[in-house]
Amino acid sequence: LRLGENRAKVERMFGLMDRFLKNDPATLQNDIVNHVEYTVARSRFSFDDFEAYQALTHSVRDRLIERWHDTQICFRRKDPKRLYFLSLEYLMGRSLSNSVINLGIRDQYADALSQLGFDFEVLAEQEGDAALGNGGLARLSACQMDSLATLDYPAWGYGLRYQYGLFRQVILDGYQHEQPDYWLNFGNPWEIERIHVTYTVKFYGTVEEENFKGGKHKVWVPNETVEAVAYDNLIPGYGTRNTITLRLWAAKPSDQNDMESYNTGDYINAVVNRQRAETISSILYPDDRSHQGKELRLKQQYFFVSASLQDIIRRFKDTHSNFDDFPEKVALQLNDTHPSLAIAEVMRVLVDEENLSWSRAWDISCKIFTFTTHTVLPEASEKIPVDLLGSLLPRHLQIIYEINFRFLEELKKRIGLDYDRLSRMSIIEEGAVKSIRMANLSIVCSHTVNGVSKMHAELLKTRVFKDFYELWPHKFHYKTNGVTQRRWVVVSNPSLCALISKWLGTEAWIRDMDLLVGLQEYATNGDLHEEWKMVRKVNKMRLAEYIEAMSGVKVSVDAMFDVQLKRIHEYKRQFLNILGIIHRYDCIKNMEKKDRRNVVPRVCIIGGKAAPGYEIAKKIIKLCHAVAEKINNDPDIGDLLKLVFIPDYNITVAELVIPGADLSQHLSTAGHEASGTGCMKFLMNGCLLLATADGSTIEIIEEIGADNMFLFGAKVSEVPVLRKKAPNLKVPLQFARVVRMVRNGYFGFEDYFESLCDSVEVDNDFYLLGADFESYLEAQAAADKAFIDEEKWTQMSILSTAGSGRFSSDRTIDDYAEKTWGIERCRCPA
C-alpha cells in the first residue's frame, strides 16, 4: 500500500497490523487454548499432553511468524548482500525450548502453562527429534543457523525435507538394527508449507543446439520433471527480533508427467510414477562419510541445488534487471561438496537461460561461491561417475568438461606440461570408472576454500589439496568450528546457565561467549565450587535416572561419569575405549580386595550409530554390549565399574547426557578428525576432556592449557612415522592381553569378533590402537587421580567452561561473514 493512495485504508491496515501478540500469561493461555480448539480441533475442556504440546507449539509459531515477517521486510528494504547456506544435512533436534528461549519468553510460557495445569518440561518431552543429517557436519549447519540469526546476518539456509531422517537405532541382543525414522508421522507444526513456492526441476533427456543471435545456443530438453515445494522452518535469533529461514525442499510429482501417462490410459503407472517422484526427497543417506556413485543421491543433490538456485535467482531478479550486481548481493556457501553441482547449474542458467557469455558467467560464479570441506581423507571425497552424470544431467556434464578444459589450459600456462600434476588436479579422474572430482570442481570455482580447524587447514595445504594450495595459496583459509551456547548450555543445562550468569553478574555471555573468561577469577572460590558441584550432581542424577530407565543398570552418582558419544567409526576409536575398559576390569579382578578401596568408581557411557553397511562399526557396538553384560553382572565389581551403551544417540539424548558428564573421550587417531565439535559441547558444560591432540582439541589446549585436560597418543606428525614402523613395533603386553581376551571369547561371540581383533593386529593396526594404548592408560590414570581431588577437579571443570568462549559458533560465523562471505549485519528494528 502506498501512502496517499487511500489514507484511511492505509491507516486502518496499519492499525490492524501493528497489533503484535502479547506475551503476558493471560494472553498466552488464551492463545494456547484457542489453538487447542481451532487448530488441534480438540475440546478446550479436555486435551492431553500431546494436544497441549501441539497447541503450545502453534502459539509459539505465531510469534515466530511475526518476527520472521518483520525480518524479511527489513531485508527487502535494506537489500543487503545475502548469504545462501547450501547444505544437504541439518540436525536440528527439538525446536520448542530453543524457540521460546531465543524469543525470550520461556518463563512466561512456563507460568501460563502451570496455571492451566501443565508443566512446560513435560510438554517439551512430547516433541520428536528432527534428524535430517548424520553427524558433525549436519549439527554444525544447525548451530551455524542459530548464530546467523542471532548475529543478525541476512542469511537463508537451504536443504532437503527428507521424509525419513536418520534411522532409529534399536539394539536387540546387543546388535544394532535400523528402523526408519518417519519423523513427520505426528505432523510437524514447526514448518510452513509454501505450496505457491514451487519450482520445476528437470532430469535426463538430451542437449540440442538452437540458432541464437547468429550463433549456436545449447538447449537442454529433459524427459523427466519433478516439482520442488518449499517448507519454511523459522530460525529465531537470541536477543534480537531477527528470525531467518531454513527452506527445505520436498519433491512432488509434476502434473505434466501424469498427462502423458493418462493419455496412454496407463492409470496405474501414472500413480506409480507420481510416487517415484516423491522418492527423491524421501530418505537421508545414513552414511556419514561418502556416498559414491548412487543415482538417487545424485538426483537429490541436483533437485536441491536446482530448486534453491531458482529461488535465489528469483529473489535477486525481484529487485535487479541484470546480473551486474549479482556478486555484490549474493554469497553461495557450499557445505562440503554435496551441493557442488550448484557451480555447473549457475553456469547453465547464466549461459543458456540468461544468455551471458561464458567468460562473464564464469567471472560471476568465481565471485559468489565459497567452499568448506569437512574431511581429511582424500579417499572420502566425493566422486560422480561421468556416465551417471551424463545420463541424468547431460548439459551439466558438458559444462563441467568445459570448465575443466579451460582450467587445464590455464594450468598448463602456469606449470607447463607436468602431466602427473595436471592429472591430479583435473576435475575429471580417468580410470576404471571415469568420474568427476567434486572437491576439485569446488576449489576451482570458489574464491575461498575453508578448513574447519587450524590442523585441518595445515593438512589441506600440505597433503590433501597440496597442488591447489601451491597454485592458489590465497584461496586457502580455515574457520575453526564452533557450537551454539544457546542450545548447548542455555537450553540443555539451565542450572549451569543460571550459575554462570550469577557469577558473571550478567547474561550477556549468551551473545558474547568471550565473557566466560570472567569465571577464571573465581576458579578457586569455595562458594562457587559448592554451587558448581551441586549443579553437576543434579545433572548426574538426571542422567542416572535416564540410564536406569533405559537399560535397567543402576549407577552411583558418586562415580566418575565417563562418556564417549559420536558416530561409531574406526578412526574415532571406540574400540580403544572398550579395550581400556576391559583392562580396567581385568585389573580390578586381579586386585587384592583391600586395594579395591583405592579404585575410582566409573560409569562408562558409550553412544553412537554405525552406518548400516559398516560391519566393523557394528561389531564395536556388539562388543560394547558383550563387555557390559559381563561387567555389570559381576558381583565382584559392584559400583567400581559399569558400562552402558546409550541407544539411538541423537541431539535430544546429547542434551541430557552432556551436562551430566565428568569426563568425555575424544580418541581419534591424530590427523583424522577434521575438527570435532562434540568436545566443545562437553567443554562448555564443565566436563573434562580426555583426548588426542587432533582437530579442534589442539586449539582447546591453546585456550585452557594442557594441564586442564588429559592428553595422550601420537601427534599428527608422528602418525605417518608410526605407520611406517608399525609392523616392527612391539605391542604392549597389556594391549595384547585385552585383545586376546576378546579374541578367545572371554566375552563370548569369539567368531563374530575375529575380524575386529584382526583390525588391530600389529601389521594391520592402521588407526594405531596398539601404539597409543599405553599412553591412553596413563591419561586414564591421571584422570582417576584428578577425580579423587575434588577441589582440583572442580577447578579444572570451571576453567574448562571459562576457556570455552572461542568455541562458540558466533565466533565462527562472524569470521566467515567478514573474511569469506563479505556480508554485514542487518538488524530488524525492535
The least distance separating ligand T68 from the CB of residue 768, rounded to whole angstroms, comes to 18
Minimum CB separation of residue 376 from ligand T68 in Å reads 8
> Do 799 and 704 form a contact (C-beta atoms < 8 A)?
yes
Q: Which of 288, 311, 784, 810 binds ligand T68 (CB under 6 A)?
A: 288
Please identify, among the stretches 223-231, 326-334, 488-496, 672-680, the one whose residues bind ligand T68 according to the rule CB under 6 A. 672-680
- Of 688, 815, 825, the C-alpha closest to 370 is 815
Exactly one of 241, 289, 529, 536 binds ligand T68 (CB under 6 A); that residue is: 289
Would you say how long the chain is, in residues? 830
Instruction: Give yes or no for a contact between 415 and 371, defined as CB atoms under 8 angstroms apart.
Output: no
Q: Where are the beta strands (DSSP E) in 681-785?
A: 688-692, 710-712
Q: Is 652 a catalytic residue?
A: no
Of 282, 287, 284, 301, nearest to 341 (Cα)? 301
**Distances, alpha carbon 328 to alpha carbons 68, 303, 316, 332, in Å:** 24, 26, 11, 12
Would you call 630 a catalytic residue per the annotation? no
| Contact track, ligand T68, 599-628, x by CB under 6 A | ------------------------------
Catalytic residue among 299, 374, 447, 811: 374
- Shortest gap between Cβ of 619 and ligand T68 (angstroms)? 21
One-letter amino acid for residue 368 of the chain? I
Q: Say if residues 138 and 90 touch (Cβ distance below 8 Å).
A: yes
Give 588-635 as a DSSP string: HHTS-GGGGGGSPPEEEEEE----TT-HHHHHHHHHHHHHHHHHHT-T
- Residue 455 CB, shortest distance to ligand T68, in Å, is 10
Q: Given the rule CB under 6 A, which of 58-66, 105-113, 135-143, 262-270 is the region that contacts ligand T68?
A: 135-143
The reply to whether 676 sits near ligand T68 by the rule CB under 6 A is yes
Residues in a beta bridge with 384: 436
Q: Which parts of 369-428 interact with ligand T68 (CB under 6 A)?
A: 374
Phi, psi of 548 (to 5 degrees): -65, -40
Instruction: Select the residue interacting with ligand T68 from 143, 452, 496, 600 (CB under 6 A).
Output: 452
674 touching ligand T68, by CB under 6 A: yes
Residue nearest to ligand T68 (CB): 136
Q: Which stretch binds ligand T68 (CB under 6 A): 118-126, 527-535, 668-676, 716-724?
A: 668-676
Measured from the CB atom, the residue of 452 and 559 that comes closer to ligand T68 is 452
Residues 559-571 as b/e (b if ≥16 CB within 10 A, e otherwise) read bbbbbbbbbbbbb
Q: Which of 398, 328, 335 is nearest to 372 (CA)?
A: 335
Q: Which is nearer to ligand T68, 236 or 676 (CB)?
A: 676
Instruction: Pick out residues in 189-218 that bind ligand T68 (CB under 6 A).
Output: none
Applying CB under 6 A, does 697 fall inside the site for ligand T68? no
Are 583 and 733 in contact by the 8 Å Cβ rule? The answer is no
Q: CB under 6 A: which stretch of 391-399, 458-466, 669-677, 795-803 binds ligand T68?
A: 669-677
Selecting among 480, 677, 692, 794, the annotated active-site residue is: 677
Report, in Å, the least distance between residue 287 CB and ligand T68: 7
| Burial class, 377, CB count within 10 angstroms (exposed 0-12 / middle 13-18 / buried 19+) | middle
Choice between 662 and 673, CB closer to ligand T68: 673
567 tagged catalytic: yes
* Contact flags string 157-196 toward ligand T68, x per CB under 6 A: ----------------------------------------
Strand partners of residue 690: 665, 710
3-state secondary structure of 157: strand
- Cell 595459496 belongs to 473
Strands 560-565 and 602-607: parallel
Phi–psi pair at 552, nearest 5 degrees: 80, 0
How many residues touch ligand T68 under the rule CB under 6 A: the total is 18
Q: State which residue, 394 or 482, has the beta carbon closest to ligand T68.
A: 482
Q: CA of 582: how far to CAs of 310, 553, 563, 642, in Å? A: 56, 18, 16, 11
86 vs 796, beta carbon nearer ligand T68: 86
Stretch near ligand T68 under the rule CB under 6 A, chosen from 43-51, 136-144, 156-164, 301-309 = 136-144
DSSP secondary structure code for residue 759 in this structure: T
> Cα–Cα distance between 628 and 295 in angstroms, integer?
41
Q: Which of 782, 148, 97 is nearest to 491 (CA)?
A: 97
- Cβ neighbours of residue 156 closer than 8 Å, sequence gap 6 or more: 82, 83, 84, 85, 244, 245, 246, 247, 312
Find cell 569369539 and name the residue: 750
Q: 471-483 burial, b if ≥16 CB within 10 A, otherwise e?
A: beeebbbbbbbbb
Say how far residue 247 (Cα) sits from the centre of its chain. 16
CA distance 570 to 710: 21
Name residue 336's amino acid: D
Residues from 473 through 492 that contact ligand T68 (CB under 6 A): 481
- By CB under 6 A, tell whether 36 contacts ligand T68: no
Residue 102 or 290 with smaller CB distance to ligand T68: 290
Residue number, 312 or 452, with CB nearest to ligand T68: 452
Shortest distance in whole angstroms from residue 87 CB to ligand T68: 10
Active-site residue, 413 included: no
Residue 9 C-alpha cell reads as: 485504508
d(CA 572, CA 692): 10
Q: In terms of CB distance, is 389 or 786 closer to ligand T68?
A: 389
> Which span sits near ligand T68 by CB under 6 A: 132-140, 200-208, 325-333, 383-391?
132-140
Binding piece for ligand T68, criterion CB under 6 A, among 266-274, 583-591, 595-603, 674-682:
674-682
When computed from its CA atoms, the radius of gyration of the chain, rounded to whole angstroms, is: 28
Residue that the C-alpha cell 540469526 belongs to: 149
> Looking at 67, 168, 456, 681, which residue is catalytic?
681
> In this chain, which of 677, 692, 708, 797 binds ligand T68, going by CB under 6 A?
677
User: What part of residues 350-379 is at the interface with ligand T68 (CB under 6 A)?
Assistant: 374
Pick the binder of ligand T68 from 47, 63, 97, 135 (CB under 6 A).
135
Non-local (6+) Cβ contacts of 536 within 8 A are 496, 660, 662, 686, 797
134 binds ligand T68 (CB under 6 A): yes
Nearer to ligand T68, 509 or 807 (CB): 807
Residue whose C-alpha is closest to residue 577's, from 649, 655, 651, 643: 643
- The binder of ligand T68 chosen from 695, 713, 770, 803 (CB under 6 A): 695
Report if residue 290 touches ligand T68, rule: CB under 6 A: yes
The residue annotated as part of the active site, out of 67, 437, 486, 566, is: 566
**Given candidates 131, 140, 400, 799, which one binds ligand T68 under the rule CB under 6 A?**
140
Question: Phi and psi (nearest 5°) for 766?
Answer: -60, -40
Q: Which three cell numbers stand for residue 670?
A: 591424530
Least distance to ligand T68, CB of residue 289, Å: 5
* Range in contact with ligand T68 (rule: CB under 6 A) among 133-141, 486-494, 634-642, 805-813: 133-141
Q: Which is nearer to ligand T68, 674 or 828 (CB)?
A: 674
Determine which one of 486, 567, 569, 622 is catalytic.
567
From the list 673, 765, 772, 810, which residue makes contact with ligand T68 (rule: CB under 6 A)? 673
| Closer to ligand T68 by Cβ: residue 362 or 767 | 767
Residue 240 or 675 having the CB closest to ligand T68? 675
* CA atoms of 217 and 38, how far apart (whole Å): 55
Q: How far is the CB of 380 from ligand T68 (least distance, A)?
A: 7
Least distance CB 116 / ligand T68 (angstroms)? 41
Please select the residue that binds ligand T68; options are 137, 559, 711, 823, rule is CB under 6 A.
Answer: 137
- Nine-digit cell string for 98: 530453543
Binding site for ligand T68 (CB under 6 A): 134-138, 140, 288-290, 374, 452, 481, 673-677, 695
Catalytically active residues are 374, 566-567, 572, 677, 681
